[in-house]
Structure 1
């Protein structure tokens, strides 16, 4: 038994955070413009720069040198603050690809959650809650906050309910490093949860579970 991945969606239906552990099929890098910056460096599209930009263009901002002061003028590019992964992280010969870009995968996961959640409400009434469902290959767990955030975790189908784990992630690292962090804009349509403290704390919490192998 093990845990595969974690998705967090905000009330705007955007995937604002992603992390995985034991995925056998890696997600493809998201299409440019299809994913918020800061969600996950492993699936964020890399910006390809021309190799000759700094060489053949002496007027480029990167090559601007103040003649009087001798100080190089640095240009801040609009890139996610989370460090981008190395080439070895993209090329994993022992894992297969899902065939879907990550932004499409995230939309499918959210669509499944939303559809089943609405179906249960219509069939069972408002007192019933959708907390998980199981297939032959995985089990999906859901925890939804009052503010509209949806914590979704995929695990081995034989794992018991992990809703309490999602609640602990919300009440612990999420509140501590995201909600109470003045540097993070909540409910933003422009930036994901770009916080290494939250990522590290979540990773430590998940790996400490008995079902994690």
Structure 2
């Protein structure tokens, strides 16, 4: 089985986080102003994808996290005159000359709107046809399977996988109760619901990557 990508939408229907693993056709970078800063370097507008960490307002800084045991903010000395440590997760995407993937021809901001539009339409259809007790959890095409997990606070976790994959709702819930609560909700330095920034915290992204890569369904 293959896990392709992960989207997180807030209660305002805005994509606040994106990450992918096995996409053979990547979206084009979003247009300027099309997505929030710090959603993902891989799909940020070209003016924000040049490795300049300042556009992320320090969200990738080591001080912007919590101790998993005490819940206290872990602050470290800022590195004056030096760049933040480079990690594979936060490096700029490879150039088109070296990238092994091709483009979908669709800008990421348009793709994110289409994904959310499909979820909203199918959810409304399920409620009208089956009643309010029914929930839309996934759908499958010949090319992929879309899985949805919605929290009480209105956040939607969306994962695209192989069409033959089993339900990924338990994985999406693990992401919510684990990395999301620890590095986003309980982090006082992350402005929730601000409509100004995504949630591309370096520790949050690295934690999701470890969780997904450690799954038995991940090749």
TM-score range, shorter chain: 0.7 to 0.9
Matched, 1:208 2:214: yes
Instruction: Note if contact 2:41-2:93 (Cα within 8 Å) is conserved in structure 1.
Output: no
- Map of 2:127 onto structure 1: 121
Deviation at 1:194, TM superposition (A): 2.4
Three-state SS of the structure 2 residue aligned to 1:142 is strand
Measured on the aligned residues, the alpha-carbon RMSD in Å equals 1.9
- The TM-score with structure 1 as length reference comes to 0.82
- Map of 1:14 onto structure 2: 14
CA 1:156–1:116: 2 relative to 1, 3 Å = same
- Map of 2:170 onto structure 1: 164
- Map of 2:65 onto structure 1: none
Instruction: Note if contact 2:41-2:92 (Cα within 8 Å) is conserved in structure 1.
Output: no
Matched, 1:180 2:186: yes
- Map of 1:66 onto structure 2: none
Matched, 1:143 2:149: yes
5+ residue gaps, structure 1? 49-75
- Structure 1 range deviating more: 81-90 or 117-126: 81-90
Larger radius of gyration: 1
Deviation at 1:92, TM superposition (A): 4.0
Three-state SS of the structure 2 residue aligned to 1:88 is coil
Looking at structure 2, the residues matched to 86 and 5 of structure 1 have their Cα atoms a distance apart, in angstroms, of: 17
Instruction: Note if contact 1:143-1:163 (Cα within 8 Å) is conserved in structure 2.
Output: yes
Aligned length: 186
- Map of 2:81 onto structure 1: none
